[in-house]
A and B are shown apart, each in its own frame.
Chain A
Amino acid sequence: MGWQKKVLRVDLTAGTCTAEPLNMEWADRYLGQRGLATKYFVEEVDPRVDPLSPENKLIFATGPLTGTPASTGARYSVITKGALTGAIACSNSGGYFGAELKFAGWDMIIFEGRAEQPVYLLVIDDEARLLPAGELWGKGTWETEKALHERHQEPQLRISSIGRAGENLVRYACVVNDLHRAAGRSGVGAVMGSKNLKAIAVHGTKGTQVADPERFFQVVGEKKRILAENAVTGQGLPTYGTQVLMNIINELGALPTRNARDVQFESADKVSGEAMHEPRGSEGKPNLVRNQACFGCTIACGRIARIDKQHYTVINKPEYWGASGGLEYENAWSMGPDCGVDDLDAMTYANFICNEHGIDPISFGATLAAAMELYEIGAITDEQTGGLPLRFGSAEALTTMVEAVANGEGFGKDLGLGSKLLCEKYGHPDLSMSVKGQEFPAYDPRGIQGMGLTYATSNRGACHLRSYTVSSEVLGIPEKTDPHTTEGKPALVKAFQDVTAAVDSSGLCLFSTFAWSLEDIQPQIDAACEGDWSLDKLMEMGERIWNLERRFNLAAGIDGSQDRLPKRLVSEPAPTGPAKGMVNRLDEMLPEYYSLRGWTPEGVPTPETLERLEL
């Protein structure tokens, strides 16, 4: 058990919902969520399809530990061909939605085709129906959730939806559930919008089971204690959230600032996790209200924040006076240092709008940062921006443009393209801080070498969550490595990538791995699931998933030539800080990485590798 062994297939073109048994042969090789849904996806979708066409599919998938008492067992992933990247996309979210889908008796939902008119999917246990969403179209995710709760008189409905950004096909639109949790990256929300699918609302009363309850409780209890006693998961994350990193990474000289022209931000302390605790403004209350857990999570790193009522962004907008999802580190970075902005409440407001309208704040902030640089060099002028100076450091530019992106108005349309297309459009493709079309997040690879290889080889475009070598290179988890050397990094990146693929397929949160190794996770999977889930099997599965994703990308035309970093990172030395004078030395790492992967020098898995992994 662990699985519900049931898949819901929704044909949006035909308007049908069909239950089918979960392919248990695949489940035994891909576990769930990221791995299993990717297997379904690559088996069913031509890699060359246009991501926004009806031929693309969109899968919402849980893992076997989703909706169980295993700590952090909240996760679900959205798998599709990404609108931002054209590569395999797998965006992971927490909150309550994934567990609710399990409680309703489903492991995953596969959407195919395209609805003629806007629809939403209502799932109450076994019963799934497509219903007209005309009245919801144009609404944000917050209003959508509220309207669906009212319409169905069910406060327990858990909802995953897109906002205006997804409807407007913003390339980095995300899917938002439970008001402020998001399957954030690669434009999975734009794919959902292209299918005229506004929302999925789920309520489940069937519950979940595990294969060996006695062993499960014992091991899950033991592992929860590890999380509680660990300094990061027991104290750092609950207190500061991921924002605990802002000052640390800045001091390390690895905080990309002003579109990565700099690697340190002079006002980092003003936008840090610590700053969120400081009393401020008219009320003398801090930005942070409290921490919040996702379903089943005993870490509770989520930030609940409130904007000062007197702040310019909300002074006449009482609808934004309440508490909502606050700044996580990556969002704080993209909309703060990367744009040179140090106004915590302005950033919080932009974050609220990103949640409300389903915008990936990383890509939005990084795209705005690129636009700011284009503006400063004169490639973009007031003519394009409608008279708004897009200067680094302008909070007004940030909060005005986030609304423009959400609404698809004015220069917001250009920003909605993502930095790659934007910079190409305005003649400076090298100013896009992206890999495979996706903007990299809050770690500058000049100061943390392993992250360069991480970004370059990530199957979904630049991303920190595919191999978070920051753990090792900065935090010393599981062991400390020197962030300035490239030695050993290919093996480190490969190992992290494979482990992460396994964790992402289980239903657990990657953040648990600040305290847990795969050795801690494996017995939880093994007790919950039928079959024998050894450490070796999980590691091999992780590698298999990685290669499966890679093969999809190769077939989609994304080959080794795209395992490249933005020119700035490999040619412009870090101007300040401990990494001063350094660039990222990707070239030193990539060949070794390919070789460790069992790939050709061009980055293609060899037949032997495919055979070894039974692909």
Chain B
Amino acid sequence: MYRSLTLDPEKCTGCLQCEMACSWEYEGHFNPAHSRIKIFAFHQEGRFVPYTCTQCADAWCKNACPVEAIQINAETGAKEVVENLCVGCKVCTIACPFGTVNYDHARGKVMKCDLCGGDPACARACPTGAITFVDGDWPGYEKMRQWAERTDNLASAQ
């Protein structure tokens, strides 16, 4: 079983250390605008929700890619963008119903979480344990997957 990112809004204080760590990992500078993980703030409820790709089994992004530029890392199960194949057509950004694939204007490529090759920087940077990288599936993802199954009706057949 692959390890997966576990995201717990109850523990998130909104410090954005994860966004800085993520952007450093990928971009070599501290830049939340280029982070693959995002903290969404619900001010009225005083709630912060960390959110990134669930590496879902359905891989809508991968299936939608017209040039095989999203591939599965056999070791981590992550769906990774292969930069030299990505032409920047952005179809995956509209196909992913979770909204976790974004287009990077500067590079003309899409970007998404790839679990940092198996040691996610966001989980390392989180001071409160709101983001952890653990064995097995996280029930939060399961909810999203269940929804994905209802829509796609494919998982039931797999």
Binding site for B on A (CB under 8 A): 67-69, 71, 96, 99, 103, 156, 179, 203-209, 213, 224, 228, 238, 289-298, 300, 304, 306, 322-324
Q: Which residue of B lies closest to A207 (CB)?
A: B31
Alpha-carbon gap, A300 to B21, bound state (A): 18
The B90-128 residues at the A interface (CB cut-off 8 A) are 125, 127-128
Q: Which residue of B lies closest to A209 (CB)?
A: B29
Whether B62 sits at the interface, judged by CB under 8 Å, is no
Q: Which residues of A contact B20 (CB under 8 A)?
A: 68-69, 296
Does the CB pair A208–B29 fall under 8 Å?
yes
Does the CB pair B21–A69 fall under 8 Å?
yes
Q: List 9 A-B contacts (CB under 8 A).
A: A69-B30, A99-B16, A103-B30, A205-B34, A207-B27, A208-B31, A292-B14, A292-B48, A322-B45
Q: Which residues of A contact B31 (CB under 8 A)?
A: 103, 205-208
Alpha-carbon gap, A243 to B115, bound state (A): 39
Known interface pairs A209-B29, A298-B15, A300-B13; A179-B127 also in contact (CB < 8 Å): no
Alpha-carbon gap, A567 to B15, bound state (A): 43
Does the CB pair A156–B13 fall under 8 Å?
no
Q: Which residues of A contact B24 (CB under 8 A)?
A: 69, 213
Does the CB pair A289–B17 fall under 8 Å?
no
Does the CB pair A296–B33 fall under 8 Å?
no
The B120-142 residues at the A interface (CB cut-off 8 A) are 125, 127-128
Q: Which residues of A contact B23 (CB under 8 A)?
A: 207
Known interface pairs A206-B31, A290-B46, A323-B44; A296-B16 also in contact (CB < 8 Å): yes
Q: How many contacting A-B pairs (Cβ < 8 A)? A: 79
Known interface pairs A103-B31, A296-B20; A322-B13 also in contact (CB < 8 Å): no
Q: How far is the CB of A484 from chain B (nearest CB, A)?
A: 38
Partner of A293, one of B13, B27, B32, B43: B13
Q: Mark each residue of chain B from 6 to 21: 1 if its CB lies under 8 Å from any CB of chain A, else 0.
A: 0000000111110011
Q: Which residues of B contact A179 (CB under 8 A)?
A: 43
Alpha-carbon gap, A208 to B15, bound state (A): 16
Q: How far is the CB of B50 from chain A (nearest CB, A)?
A: 13
Q: How far is the CB of B70 from chain A (nearest CB, A)?
A: 24
Known interface pairs A207-B23, A224-B127, A293-B15; A306-B43 also in contact (CB < 8 Å): no
Q: How far is the CB of B10 from chain A (nearest CB, A)?
A: 9
Other 9 A-B pairs with CB < 8 A, given A103-B32, A322-B43: A69-B17, A69-B20, A71-B127, A205-B34, A290-B46, A295-B16, A298-B17, A323-B43, A323-B46
Alpha-carbon gap, A293 to B17, bound state (A): 10
Q: Which residues of B contact A296 (CB under 8 A)?
A: 15-17, 20
Does the CB pair A297–B15 fall under 8 Å?
yes
Q: How far is the CB of B2 from chain A (nearest CB, A)?
A: 27
Q: Which residues of B contact A298 (CB under 8 A)?
A: 15, 17, 127
Q: How far is the CB of A104 from chain B (nearest CB, A)?
A: 10
Q: Which residues of A contact B29 (CB under 8 A)?
A: 207-209
Alpha-carbon gap, A103 to B16, bound state (A): 13
Partner of B46, one of A204, A207, A289: A289
